[in-house]
Amino acid sequence: MPVADTSQLISGVAERYASSLFELALQAGSVEAVGAELDRVQALIDGSDDLKRLIVSPVFSAEDQFKAVSALVAQFGFSGLVGNFLKVVARNRRLFALPGSIRAFRLIAARHRGEITADVTSAHALTEAQQTELKATLKGVTGKDVAVNVTVDPSILGGLIVKVGSRQIDTSLRTKLSTLKLALKEVG
């Protein structure tokens, strides 16, 4: 199966799970609380190679995945809605789609609030003040409230890469150096 087909499958599964969770959270009036708990889940995934392996590896049985996720839910005290969501995803052998589901939930919730989302890549973590300033700048450009999803990638060396919808602004040092290198080759 080609890579594009696999990512499309993951995206479709993730969207369906996120959409269902959002509808339940909306009915319960707990969209913000569920979003915060999903952020905690993502932080756990990001901080644990074992958890990443459990999510992506097909060698674990559905029962092993369910037991591990149930223990995680109990240990970290996830609410009924998020806890049940995690258990259903594990029981259905769809843990591979969990990170995508979390991203999709954030997008759906932001759209519901009338926000747009900007994916920002930075060479280092942004402070709260920097994020606030970035949101204000993006609001001035777009005219809408902007939720910022920051990814740290030291390989860009400095600056930012900001994607809002189909627009991308790349002020990364890596790109500037590549452009300079190309210009110098043309001159020489």
**Class for domain 115-186, per CATH?**
alpha beta
**Nearby residues of 26 by Cβ (< 8 Å), 6 or more positions away:** 112
* pLDDT tens per residue across span 29-64: 999 999 999 999 999 998 999 999 999 888 999 899
pTM of the predicted model as reported, rounded to 2 decimal places: 0.69
CATH topology of domain 6-111: Peroxidase; domain 1 (1.10.520)
Task: Give the residue carrying structure tokens 């204000």.
Answer: 136
Domain parsing of the chain, residue ranges: 6-111, 115-186
Rounded CA-CA distance 183/185 in Å is 5
Which two three-digit tokens encode residue 56? 């992506």
Per-residue confidence (pLDDT) for residue 147, from 0 to 100: 85
Portion of the chain with pLDDT greater than 90, in percent: 66
* pLDDT tens per residue across span 74-110: 999 998 899 999 999 999 999 999 999 999 999 899 8
34 burial type by CB count under 10 A (0-12 exposed, 13-18 middle, 19+ buried): buried
Question: What three-state secondary structure class fits 19?
Answer: helix
Beta bridge partners of 118: 148, 164
Q: At what angle do helices 62-76 and 80-91 cross, to 10 degrees?
A: 170
Per-residue confidence (pLDDT) for residue 153, from 0 to 100: 92
Rounded CA-CA distance 40/43 in Å is 5
Q: At what angle do helices 31-47 and 62-76 cross, to 10 degrees?
A: 110
First to last CA, the chain: 45
Task: Give the residue carrying structure tokens 């009915």.
Answer: 27
